[in-house]
């Protein structure tokens, strides 16, 4: 009997796991997501177990998936007038089951979503075999789960059979999320974490010069990781276990056509032995592993299998779901380069994609450091809140794409990390720094059987171990005498921030026809101590007929501090990889200009987090802070006396005047180039532009966080500098909020206000707490807050004392759709009281609904400014909406009318007409030819204006009413 969910009641799953599986679950499948959120909302969630029918396995008959659906009751916000909500699919890690995600799903439901978890095919209580997220099997299952959600009466729909749904998962579940979004365009947003893009490159990596996909040589087998995965698959039980009924129809496929049951592996073993050796792996997957593990290499069939489970250029065509890629810096299974490849493919397809690199990964115990509690749900909730609500921005790409990453800050403990930001364009095409390496050609021996092997890490088990760091033995184990070539730089004179994969050119000679080597890049202190960032190495498999080999070293994020040198270590063995068993001798030498190329893109500080600072350092920092405060006070006094003594009478009543701002960095890059605009009383001004346009740099100069190289900023006629008294009239939230994590939200606001020295009664604390809308959470420590809660508290902090000028940088980050709607009204009402609001944003639809005026920046310059109403009005432009019909044919018809300069189909039912033609004439012409006209609109969307300016990469011709370049006028 089916329930109202369209699911059949399911059977309890069985716990089948051995010691190896337990170890693997701690590292690989241990990506079960722990959530933070409102306990009361979670209590209002109910769970319904059930089953969804999957594609039948050959020779096994019907296959079912073990499913649970978590639904909030009516008291939880998020439902529309019909009681429908957006849905979320949560996918588990390899060797796991839906039970791993129960708490996560409850928290998702507590946030207002219908959450569905399932046990993947071949695991736990689900039937079938393990195909490694093959589109024909596991990804087909994802589509069937989407079908089940579409059939529910409490899930919001985009159309018939098309639910509003996001998908998130980590590791194996991240592969399901990424490929599910690639193959099912009904998925509206995706958050894949610590997962692969190219499965062959992940399991058989090699660092030779890039070659076209599918044409590269076979790489170096990642033997230890593959063994752990294989063991976890065996631990799931025999092939017929867990929900697959025996075939009762002569082993037929979907259409009843007889198929080969694929029950045998052609190695002479009998069927019982094959069952034992393969567990619930599909025979083709089992053959792939056994061939690689026994030294037979990767066959053509094996490569095809891995390609099917990868995000190939063909698979990404048509991908539309906005995607947040979460990848760990401590991950020898799926490295940072996997997310970089995915980001590049999605960006080229025009998909909105952001990237988050965090201090964690498979080698650090899973998702450590992703969210406040090491969870995936916090960033997923932020992402889904933006892309699954009523006010979600339209699907489509954006210039760049935000990238957050982590670096160990200088002078702090190694377990502390600092968040930095860049954009995807910088990540994919970064600035570089060349470092000279020194060293003569060196012989390297590969011993018989590949033993002894260098030891840099224990895949999946390295969390908490110091294998290559401060114990003093790490380097000796990783650089075995006679089996290693070493090249080193001179000590560096300045700090280098490395983000990405360094490269170096080598020449390699071998006594065999090929060479297998392992390259790593070590940091060497002034005392000679060597440490290996994130314990990562790059395998290298090349034919020695090549004169030059370009080695791509492990992608990571770290700093090279002054006085440190860089050491390139090239070894013939590594414990984690398969190596040739025959004895060999290599000669390794630096090639070309002998330079190591380090990717050093521009990054911006976002926030910092981590453990406790050592007590002696606290004393030192305290003394430095006192000195800094004294110096800042002296500098601020000078700035105040200079700025506050020279008000400008002409702008004394204007909240903000920006005149000719310039900011140029030491490398010659002009982030802001002659920017001029103004914001008047009563205005909500949107500062718009693609990533990298200079918006945040401008915002920072507005409040004196950084100094301008030229130009001025005046608030109420007074020039702004560090410490200017007039900044007391400015409230700001720039680059995200910063709070003391051990204090409550209320205590943080109170402490902030007390630091201003102004009377408590002037803070208007009750009013700003209403804006934050934190409920009882306002009296909980901030460290327990989600990103969205911190963002709302940051906006409230900026509004303390109701300043005349309010500056908000991307204020909707982390807010869900109802909160974004509420913020619109708050900002409009704030400005209507005679004050001014400036909002920096890349969300065009949000700006159009919130702001009265806009300033558009592109490549550091203002290209347009003015009232939103004036910019979207277009007297010579008409948008015609048809009721059915053919917009292409209608455009062709209208283009022939006198006065029509151009007519172009827009979407599936609209035509944009340019030219001074009377609108009744347009309607008459269309109706005469049988078209039904549903409406006319003489306005443009702000997005059309914006994309006309920056969408092509160069500023377009501006409307006559606008102003461009550095002469752009006031936003009035």
Task: Report d(CA 613, CA 357) in Å as an integer.
Answer: 23
Q: In the sheet that 877-882 helps form, which strands lie side by side, from edge to edge? A: 902-906, 910-914, 877-882, 933-937
Q: 17 with 97, same domain? A: yes
Whether the CB-CB separation of 471 and 545 falls below 8 Å is answered with no
Task: Report d(CA 564, CA 571) in Å as an integer.
Answer: 22
User: What pLDDT sits at residue 849?
Assistant: 80
Closest CA to 768 of 788, 748, 798, 744: 798
Q: Is pLDDT at 399 greater than 90 in this prediction?
A: no
Of the pLDDT bands very low, low, confident and very high (cuts 50, 70, 90), residue 396 is low
Task: Report d(CA 39, CA 630) in Å as an integer.
Answer: 45
Whether residue 962 is contained in a domain is answered as no
User: What pLDDT sits at residue 298?
Assistant: 85
Which whole number is the average pLDDT over 821-834? 87
Q: 375 with 440, same domain? A: no
Which whole number is the average pLDDT over 175-185? 97
Whether the CB-CB separation of 655 and 716 falls below 8 Å is answered with yes
Whether residue 66 is contained in a domain is answered as yes
Q: Is pLDDT at 719 greater than 70 in this prediction?
A: yes
Q: Which two tokens stand for residue 562?
A: 């002054």
Top pLDDT among 961 and 571 is at: 571
Pairing of strands 353-358, 323-328: parallel
Q: 621 with 657, same domain? A: no
**What Rg value do the Cα atoms of the chain yield, rounded?**
30
* 669 secondary structure, DSSP code: -
Whether the CB-CB separation of 236 and 16 falls below 8 Å is answered with yes
User: What pLDDT sits at residue 92?
Assistant: 95
Which whole number is the average pLDDT over 840-845? 74
Top pLDDT among 961 and 138 is at: 138
Q: What is the CATH number of the domain that holds 670?
A: 3.40.50.300
User: 794 φ, ψ to 5°?
Assistant: -65, -40
Pairing of strands 503-510, 853-858: unpaired
pLDDT above 90 as % of the chain: 38
Of the pLDDT bands very low, low, confident and very high (cuts 50, 70, 90), residue 35 is very low
Top pLDDT among 921 and 202 is at: 202
Q: Classify residue 254 as exposed, middle or buried by CB count within 10 Å of its CB (0-12, 13-18, 19+).
A: exposed
User: 336 φ, ψ to 5°?
Assistant: -60, -30
Q: 301 with 342, same domain? A: yes
Task: Report d(CA 56, CA 562) in Å as an integer.
Answer: 61
Of the pLDDT bands very low, low, confident and very high (cuts 50, 70, 90), residue 209 is very low
Of the pLDDT bands very low, low, confident and very high (cuts 50, 70, 90), residue 263 is very low
Which whole number is the average pLDDT over 571-589? 93
User: Of 823, 845, 869, which one is at a domain's C-terminal end?
Assistant: 869
pLDDT tens string 441-490: 999 999 998 888 988 877 765 544 444 443 335 788 888 899 999 999 99
Closest CA to 702 of 681, 733, 666, 680: 733
User: Which residue's structure tokens are 């410490």?
Assistant: 723
Does the CA dihedral 686-687-690-696 come out positive or negative?
negative
Q: What is the CATH number of the domain that holds 178?
A: 3.40.50.1820
Q: 314 with 444, same domain? A: no
Q: 890 with 915, same domain? A: yes
Ramachandran area for residue 270 (φ above 0: left; ψ -120 to 50: alpha; else beta): beta
User: What pLDDT sits at residue 471?
Assistant: 35
Q: What angle do CA 117, 121, 126 make, to 5 degrees?
A: 70
Three-class DSSP category at 41: helix
Q: What is the pTM for the complete model shown?
A: 0.61
Q: Is pLDDT at 952 greater than 70 in this prediction?
A: no
User: Of 869, 896, 916, which one is at a domain's C-terminal end?
Assistant: 869
Mean pLDDT of the chain: 79
User: What pLDDT sits at residue 296?
Assistant: 81
Q: Is pLDDT at 34 greater than 50 in this prediction?
A: no
Whether residue 92 is contained in a domain is answered as yes
Q: Is pLDDT at 609 greater than 70 in this prediction?
A: no
Which residue segment(s) compose the domain that 436 sits in?
432-599
Among 116-120, 135-139, 477-481, the minimum mean pLDDT is found in: 477-481
pLDDT above 70 as % of the chain: 77
Q: 351 with 488, same domain? A: no
Whether residue 408 is contained in a domain is answered as no
User: What pLDDT sits at residue 898?
Assistant: 84
Among 13-27, 742-756, 830-844, the minimum mean pLDDT is found in: 13-27
Q: 340 with 444, same domain? A: no
User: 382 φ, ψ to 5°?
Assistant: -60, -45
Task: Report d(CA 353, CA 320) in Å as an integer.
Answer: 10
Whether the CB-CB separation of 917 and 900 falls below 8 Å is answered with yes
State the total domains in the chain. 5
Whether residue 606 is contained in a domain is answered as no
Pairing of strands 861-867, 61-72: unpaired
Q: Is pLDDT at 612 greater than 50 in this prediction?
A: no
Pairing of strands 836-841, 670-679: unpaired
Which whole number is the average pLDDT over 346-373? 83
Q: 558 with 663, same domain? A: no
Q: Classify residue 513 as exposed, middle or buried by CB count within 10 Å of its CB (0-12, 13-18, 19+).
A: exposed
Distances, alpha carbon 957 to alpha carbons 95, 576, 911, 945, in Å: 57, 58, 22, 11
Task: Report d(CA 868, CA 870) in Å as an integer.
Answer: 5
Which whole number is the average pLDDT over 911-923? 82
Distances, alpha carbon 955 to alpha carbons 45, 235, 780, 859, in Å: 51, 59, 48, 9
Other CB atoms within 10 Å distance of the CB of residue 157: 17
Q: Is pLDDT at 274 greater than 50 in this prediction?
A: yes
Task: Report d(CA 600, CA 596) in Å as an integer.
Answer: 12
User: What pLDDT sits at residue 611?
Assistant: 31
Whether residue 635 is contained in a domain is answered as yes
Q: 109 with 167, same domain? A: yes
Whether the CB-CB separation of 164 and 146 falls below 8 Å is answered with no
Whether the CB-CB separation of 113 and 88 falls below 8 Å is answered with yes
Among 70-79, 580-589, 686-695, the minimum mean pLDDT is found in: 686-695
911, containing H or E segment? strand 910-914
Whether the CB-CB separation of 54 and 146 falls below 8 Å is answered with no
Q: 711 with 852, same domain? A: yes
Q: 551 with 696, same domain? A: no
User: Of 374, 398, 422, which one is at a domain's C-terminal end?
Assistant: 398
Distances, alpha carbon 64 to alpha carbons 15, 51, 126, 526, in Å: 18, 6, 6, 61
Whether residue 300 is contained in a domain is answered as yes
Whether the CB-CB separation of 838 and 657 falls below 8 Å is answered with no
Whether residue 224 is contained in a domain is answered as yes
User: What pLDDT sits at residue 2?
Assistant: 29
Three-class DSSP category at 22: helix
Which whole number is the average pLDDT over 714-718? 88
Q: What is the CATH number of the domain that holds 457?
A: 2.60.120.260
Gap between the terminal Cα atoms of the chain: 65
Q: Would you call the peptide bond into 452 cis, given omega within 30 degrees of 0 as the criterion?
A: yes
pLDDT tens string 76-116: 988 999 999 999 999 999 999 999 999 999 999 999 999 99
Closest CA to 379 of 197, 194, 164, 558: 194
Closest CA to 899 of 873, 925, 881: 925
Task: Report d(CA 147, CA 160) in Å as an integer.
Answer: 10
Top pLDDT among 723 and 571 is at: 571
């Amino acid at each position: 009997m089916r329930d109202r969910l369209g699911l059949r009641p399911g059977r309890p799953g069985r716990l089948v796991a051995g010691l190896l599986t337990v170890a693997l679950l701690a590292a690989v499948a241990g990506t079960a997501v722990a959530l933070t959120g409102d306990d009361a909302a979670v209590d209002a969630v109910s769970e319904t177990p059930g089953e969804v029918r999957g594609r039948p396995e050959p020779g096994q008959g019907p296959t079912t998936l073990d499913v649970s659906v978590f639904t909030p009751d009516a008291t939880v916000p998020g439902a529309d007038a019909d009681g429908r909500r957006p849905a979320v699919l949560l996918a588990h890690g390899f060797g796991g089951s839906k039970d791993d995600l129960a708490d996560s799903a409850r928290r998702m439901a507590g946030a207002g979503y219908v959450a569905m978890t399932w046990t993947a095919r071949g695991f736990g209580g689900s039937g079938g075999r393990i195909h490694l997220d093959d589109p024909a099997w596991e990804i087909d299952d994802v589509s069937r789960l989407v079908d089940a959600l579409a059939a529910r009466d409490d899930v919001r729909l985009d159309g018939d059979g098309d639910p509003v749904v996001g998908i998130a998962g980590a590791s194996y579940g991240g592969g399901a999320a990424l490929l599910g979004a690639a193959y099912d365009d009904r998925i509206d947003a995706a958050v894949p974490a610590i997962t692969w893009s190219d499965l062959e490159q992940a399991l058989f990596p090699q660092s030779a010069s890039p070659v076209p996909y599918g044409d590269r040589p076979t790489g170096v087998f990642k033997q230890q990781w593959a063994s752990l995965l294989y063991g976890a698959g065996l631990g799931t039980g025999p092939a017929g276990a867990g929900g697959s009924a025996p075939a009762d129809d002569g082993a037929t496929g979907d259409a009843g056509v007889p198929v080969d049951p694929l029950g045998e592996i052609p190695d002479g073993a009998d069927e019982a032995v094959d069952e034992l050796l393969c567990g619930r792996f599909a025979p083709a997957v089992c053959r792939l592993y056994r061939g690689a593990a026994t030294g037979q290499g990767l066959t053509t069939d094996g490569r095809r299998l891995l390609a099917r489970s990868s995000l190939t250029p063909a698979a990404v065509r048509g991908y539309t779901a906005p995607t947040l890629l979460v990848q760990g810096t401590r991950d020898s299974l799926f490295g940072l380069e996997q997310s970089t490849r995915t980001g590049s493919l999605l960006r080229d397809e025009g998909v909105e994609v952001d990237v988050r690199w965090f201090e964690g990964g498979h080698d650090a115990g899973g998702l450590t450091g992703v969210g406040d509690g090491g969870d995936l749900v916090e960033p997923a909730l932020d992402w889904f809140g933006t892309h699954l609500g009523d006010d979600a921005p339209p699907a489509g790409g954006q210039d760049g794409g935000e990238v957050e990453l982590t670096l160990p800050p200088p002078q702090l403990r190694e377990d502390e990390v600092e968040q930095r930001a860049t954009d995807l364009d910088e990540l994919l095409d970064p600035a570089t720094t060349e470092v000279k390496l020194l060293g003569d050609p060196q012989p390297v021996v590969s011993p018989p059987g590949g033993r002894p092997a260098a030891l840099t890490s224990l895949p999946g088990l390295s969390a908490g171990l110091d294998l290559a760091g401060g114990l003093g033995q790490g380097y000796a184990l990783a650089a075995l005498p006679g089996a290693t070539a070493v090249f080193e730089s001179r000590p560096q004179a300045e700090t280098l921030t490395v983000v990405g994969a360094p490269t170096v050119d080598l020449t390699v000679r071998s006594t065999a026809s090929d060479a297998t080597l392992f390259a790593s890049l070590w940091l060497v202190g002034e005392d000679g101590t060597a440490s290996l960032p994130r314990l990562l190495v790059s395998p290298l498999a090349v034919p020695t007929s090549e004169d030059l080999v370009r080695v791509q070293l492990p992608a990571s994020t770290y700093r090279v501090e002054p006085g440190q040198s860089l050491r390139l270590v090239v070894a013939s063995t590594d414990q984690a990889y398969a190596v040739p068993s025959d004895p060999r001798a290599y000669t390794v030498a630096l090639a070309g200009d002998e330079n190591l190329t380090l990717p050093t893109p521009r990054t911006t500080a976002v926030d910092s987090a981590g453990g406790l600072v050592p007590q002696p350092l606290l004393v030192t920092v305290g003394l430095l802070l006192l000195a800094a405060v004294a110096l800042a006070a002296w500098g601020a006094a000078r700035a105040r006396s200079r700025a506050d003594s020279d008000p400008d009478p002409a702008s004394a009543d204007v909240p903000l005047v920006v005149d000719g701002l310039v900011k140029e960095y030491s490398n010659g890059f002009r982030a802001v180039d002659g920017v001029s605009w103004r914001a008047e009383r009563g205005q909500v001004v949107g500062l718009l532009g693609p990533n990298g346009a200079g918006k945040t740099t401008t915002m920072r100069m507005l409040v004196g966080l950084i100094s301008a190289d030229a130009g001025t900023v005046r608030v109420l006629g007074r020039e702004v500098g560090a410490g200017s008294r007039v900044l007391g009239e400015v409230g700001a939230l720039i680059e995200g909020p910063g709070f003391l994590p051990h204090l409550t939200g209320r205590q943080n606001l109170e402490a902030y206000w007390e630091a201003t020295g102004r009377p408590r009664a002037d803070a208007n604390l009750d009013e700003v707490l209403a804006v934050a809308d934190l409920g009882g959470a306002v009296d909980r420590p901030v460290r327990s807050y989600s990103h969205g809660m911190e963002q709302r508290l940051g906006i409230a902090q900026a509004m303390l004392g109701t300043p005349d000028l309010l500056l908000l940088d991307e204020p909707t980050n982390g807010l869900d759709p109802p909160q974004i709607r509420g913020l619109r009204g708050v900002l409009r009402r704030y400005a209507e009281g005679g004050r001014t609001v400036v909002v920096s944003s890349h969300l065009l639809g949000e700006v159009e609904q919130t702001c009265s005026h806009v300033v558009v920046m592109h490549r550091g310059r203002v290209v347009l400014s003015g009232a939103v109403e004036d910019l979207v009005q277009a007297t010579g432009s008409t948008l015609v909406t048809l009721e059915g019909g053919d917009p292409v044919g209608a455009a062709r018809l209208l283009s022939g009318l006198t006065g029509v300069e151009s007519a172009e189909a827009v979407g599936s039912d609209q035509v944009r007409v340019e030219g001074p033609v009377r609108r009744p004439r347009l309607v008459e012409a269309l109706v005469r030819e049988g078209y039904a006209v549903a409406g006319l609109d003489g306005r443009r969307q702000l997005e059309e204006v914006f994309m006309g300016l920056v969408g092509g990469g160069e500023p377009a011709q501006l409307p006559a009413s606008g102003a461009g370049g550095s002469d752009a006028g006031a936003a009035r």
